Amino acid sequence: MFFSRSEVLPGVSVAFTDTSAGNLALHVGDNPADVIRRREGLERAMGASPGSLRFMDQVHGTSVALMEAGTPAPEADAMVSQGLPLAVMVADCIPVLLVGKAPSGPVLAAVHAGRPGIANGIIPSAVDRMRSLGASGIRAWLGPSICGACYEVPAALQAAVASAVPATWSTTSWGTPALDLPAGARSQLEAADVVVEYAGACTLENDALYSYRRNSRTGRFAGVVWQHEGKPCGEGR
């Protein structure tokens, strides 16, 4: 079920699913009951309570939602919590998971970083919201996404995005204009003094991962970050 999983602080884990977990999105034509069943299976694999994993309605915007107990699924492209489990769904965009420590416990974030989000600063906005909650020592995991050698775009779009985030300028392996979104995300994180711990494989090149560019209509895999129940993680642990 998991493409990659690791415990990153005592009691806090990050993971990225693969196609064996099945499609986790409600908006791609699957039977909603099947999607909910898969999400429940993911929660069991995480060791999380049923219904505790927070998803968002991702719209390629710049909103960062603060998630608390009882908060409904937001229309946003980033969520921040003080320990509540968070999920981000993708099929070429970057699933960015962030973990920091505050005196009260872990501060978590899940970010949907596509081309508009990278260009408009959704990642720095999420980091700022984490720090407003007292987070320090923030680290990031960039999940699987389309790479700079595969993400072909028109030259005008390449120029527009690279003018905002120079590190995104790239060329495909066949010599046409491209964008390297993982490089752009890394540059934004480094500028915000966030350590990048992991960068995943290219979705288009890996059949174990969903890719919209490869398959057009397709499912979504997820990046998830969560605090294990009963294991607080504050300063000094």
Predicted confidence (pLDDT) at residue 1 exceeds the cutoff of 90: no
Q: What is the mean pLDDT of residues 39-57?
A: 94
Kindly report the average pLDDT of the chain as a whole number. 93
Query: For residue 184, what pLDDT is reported?
Result: 98
> In the chain, pLDDT over 90 holds for what percent of residues?
88
Predicted confidence (pLDDT) at residue 59 exceeds the cutoff of 60: yes
**Residue range 119-167, pLDDT digits in tens:** 999 999 999 999 999 999 999 999 999 999 999 999 999 999 999 999 9
In which band, very low, low, confident or very high, does the pLDDT at 237 lie, cut at 50, 70 and 90? very low
DSSP states along the chain: -EEEEEEEETTEEEEEE-GGG----SSSSS-HHHHHHHHHHHHHHHTPPTT--B--B--SS--EEEE-TTPPPPB-SEEEESS--EEEEESSSEEEEEEEEETTEEEEEEEEE-HHHHHHTHHHHHHHHHHHTT-EEEEEEE--B--TTT-B--HHHHHHHHHH-GGGEEE-TTSSEEE-HHHHHHHHHHHTT-EEEEE--BTTT-TTS--HHHHSS---EEEEEEEPTT----TT-
Predicted confidence (pLDDT) at residue 231 exceeds the cutoff of 60: no
> The pTM is what?
0.93
Q: Domain spanning 2-141+199-227: which superfamily?
A: CNF1/YfiH-like putative cysteine hydrolases (3.60.140.10)
